[in-house]
Amino acid sequence: MKLALVGDIGGTNARFALWRDEQLQAVQVLATADFPGPEQAIAAYLHAQGLPLGAVDAVCLACAGPVSGDLFRFTNNHWRIERAAFCAALQIEHLLMINDFSAMALGMTRLRDGERLQVCPGEAQAGRPALVIGAGTGLGVGTLLGLEDGRWLVLPGEGGHVDLPVGSPREAELWQVLHQQLGHVRAEDVLSGNGLLALYRAICTLDGQPQVHSTPAAISAAGLAGEPLAGQVLEQFSRWLGRVAGNNVLTLGARGGVYIAGGVVPRFAERFLASGFAKSFSDKGCMSHYLDGIPVWLVTAEYPGLTGAGVALQQAYGAD
């Protein structure tokens, strides 16, 4: 192939890079609101790199939502992709579209030293699936499988929409408040950026405290600064993430390890590492021993979704 381009497209920003020698090069972040569609954004990116249309032979785009067929409409911005028109506009031969969390999961296969922090010690078992779970705009959950030929397979799912588990009397009380406010309570309703705010409001309601903060960023900052109530939010968030991750390990037999990805947890990484995550992760009654020795890592890599798109492109077309 002449040259490959990868993209990770969210609601606000689109990240693009060249994929060359199995590495990202020339990463650039563009605002989706500045362009009528992905063709124009990619054309602008190529122009900034001094590359003409036709210089890129293959493109892989990680897109939020289920990907199938030749037409994709983004759920969180105004962009759409029609395969034939896209390829013609950019003069490319190959277009691969994959789910954004599938790209995130594939990105775990190329983590470098210093791009993950150990949360729970252990050793990943060869040949067993790994769990990738990430709190961001929503809660993504995927299963990563290594194949015998050295390739990787991602089994995407909707694990963020499972029922929020309850593991203590305090959590039962919080669940009741959340149920009154939300109706059906999903894991994603708490374990996401907006979920951090929902949890804060539930704790304030339960404890009769005034609601001072109005954004997830403010809650995180206050918790890190030592505010007790905000600190409770970060702690309970961590514990609930542990319960959900542990449930998924039991369901999947994910003794290949657990990767905690997404943009939320790294914002309070030090607090998270000292939290009750590990205890809640392994708190499974008679099956608690099953979680012993399963390694858990917090991913701090800057562009794992872009890297995963490169891995997907390489596996599909041999792009290097």
223 annotated as a binding-site residue: no
Write down the mean pLDDT value for the chain. Answer: 93
Tell me the average pLDDT across 84-101.
93
Structure-model confidence comparison of residues 159 and 43, the more confident one: 43
9 annotated as a binding-site residue: yes
Query: Is the separation of the CB atoms in 294 and 249 below 8 Å?
Result: yes
The domain tally of the chain equals 2
Q: Token pair for residue 129?
A: 């699936």
Quick one: 170 and 261 in the same domain? yes
Structure-model confidence comparison of residues 240 and 149, the more confident one: 240
Quick one: 252 and 120 in the same domain? yes
Quick one: 129 and 85 in the same domain? no
11 annotated as a binding-site residue: yes
151 within domain boundaries: yes
Q: How far apart are CA 128 and CA 46, in angstroms?
A: 40
107 within domain boundaries: no
207 within domain boundaries: yes
40 within domain boundaries: yes
Q: Which has the closest alpha carbon to 137: 162, 160, 154?
A: 160
109 within domain boundaries: no
Residue with tokens 């669940």: 175
Quick one: 193 and 280 in the same domain? yes
pLDDT exceeds 80 at position 76: no
pLDDT exceeds 90 at position 137: no
Q: What percent of the chain has pLDDT over 70?
A: 99
> Do the strands 116-120 and 71-73 form a parallel or antiparallel pair, or are they unpaired?
unpaired
Helix residue ranges, H only, the chain: 38-48, 83-90, 100-107, 169-182, 193-207, 216-224, 228-252, 269-273, 277-281, 304-317
242 annotated as a binding-site residue: no
Q: How far apart are CA 193 and CA 272, in angstroms?
A: 15
pLDDT exceeds 60 at position 240: yes
208 annotated as a binding-site residue: no
Quick one: 26 and 91 in the same domain? yes
Tell me the average pLDDT across 88-107.
93
Q: What is the distance in angstroms between the CA of the first residue and the CA of the last residue of the chain?
A: 8
10 annotated as a binding-site residue: yes
Q: How far apart are CA 215 and CA 198, in angstroms?
A: 10
110 within domain boundaries: no
Tell me the average pLDDT across 8-36.
92
240 within domain boundaries: yes
pLDDT band for position 202 (cuts 50, 70, 90): very high
What is the span of the domain harbouring residue 71?
Answer: 4-100+304-317
Quick one: 50 and 151 in the same domain? no
CB atoms within 10 A of CB 36: 11
Q: How far apart are CA 221 and CA 255, in angstroms?
A: 34
Quick one: 150 and 276 in the same domain? yes
Tell me the average pLDDT across 155-172.
93
Quick one: 160 and 265 in the same domain? yes
Quick one: 31 and 86 in the same domain? yes
Quick one: 159 and 276 in the same domain? yes
Quick one: 160 and 258 in the same domain? yes
Q: How far apart are CA 178 and CA 176, in angstroms?
A: 5
Helices (H) and strands (E) in the chain, counts: 10, 13
Report the DSSP beta bridge partners of residue 61.
7, 97
Which CA distances in Å does 274 have to 54, 118, 131, 296? Answer: 50, 11, 21, 14
**What does 172-218 look like in DSSP terms, one character per residue?**
HHHHHHHHHHHSS-BGGGTSSHHHHHHHHHHHHHHHT------SHHH
Angle at 250 between CA 249 and CA 253, to 5 degrees: 70
CATH code of the domain in which 129 resides: 3.40.367.20
108 within domain boundaries: no
**pTM to 2 decimal places:** 0.91
CATH code of the domain in which 313 resides: 3.30.420.40
Residue with tokens 């009154």: 180
What's the pLDDT score for residue 1?
Answer: 53
Quick one: 74 and 146 in the same domain? no
